[in-house]
Structure 1
Amino acid sequence: MYFSRNIKNSSWFLDIDVLNYTAQNIATMDTNEKLREEIFEIINNQLSLNDPPETKTTFDKLLKQGYDDFQITQMIGKCISVELFDVIKHGKSYNNERYIMNLIALPKEPFD
């Protein structure tokens, strides 16, 4: 799956398979292996493309604070889950400002 900001209004474009998941599946990400894999792929894409750059900056910051790769990926995944939940459950647009704010605030829990 791939998120792209090269769409009007800087919204993230979602693979349609993710949209088939219910909001409850997003809320319980740790019990849904397929969704976790998709979110981890989004994170890997963001890191490899350095888009947004705050993902890599946050990853490096958390590494220096002693977290391991898996813990960091889970934390970033929670930030993505907040955005996915709003898109799927409430039909809202992706909120880049909130996503970046949540990344920067890690390891604090993401703001809903």
Structure 2
Amino acid sequence: MRSSGKESGRLAGKAILEVGDNQLRAGDPPETRETFNRLLNEGYSENEAKRLIANVVLSEVYDVLKEGRKSDPFKYTKRLNNLPAMPWETEEDK
């Protein structure tokens, strides 16, 4: 049985959140943990901080697939540093 579009979207969102959680646990890249701690210090809840980081993960995955390129650690770090602003709100090359 095929899952609905809503269910597929929920599963995809869960997977993206898991990528961020894995980065936090592993400390790789370290900028993910640094960003998480910064967001907590700025008053965001753990859940909000993880969701903001997930938006950066999703944006990077989207660009990798769209542009057919490898992940760009410099761009990823820049996007983390710009949070809470969303990548699509701050990038001049988009």
Task: State the TM-score, normalizing by the size of structure 2.
Answer: 0.79
Does the 8 A contact of 1:86 with 1:93 survive in 2?
Answer: no
Partner of 2:73: 96
Report the alpha carbon displacement of residue 87 of structure 1 after superposing the two structures with TM: 1.8
Q: Following superposition, which runs of at least 4 residues in structure 1 exceed 3 angstroms of deviation?
A: none
RMSD: 1.8
CA separation in 2, counterparts of 1:43 and 1:85? Answer: 15
Task: State the TM-score, normalizing by the size of structure 1.
Answer: 0.68
- What are the ranges of 5 or more consecutive residues in structure 2 without an aligned counterpart? none
- Name which of 18, 23, 30 aligns with 1:46: 23
Report the alpha carbon displacement of residue 65 of structure 1 after superposing the two structures with TM: 0.7
Question: Which structure shows the higher helix fraction?
Answer: 2
Percent identity between the aligned chains?
33
**How many pairs were matched up?**
83
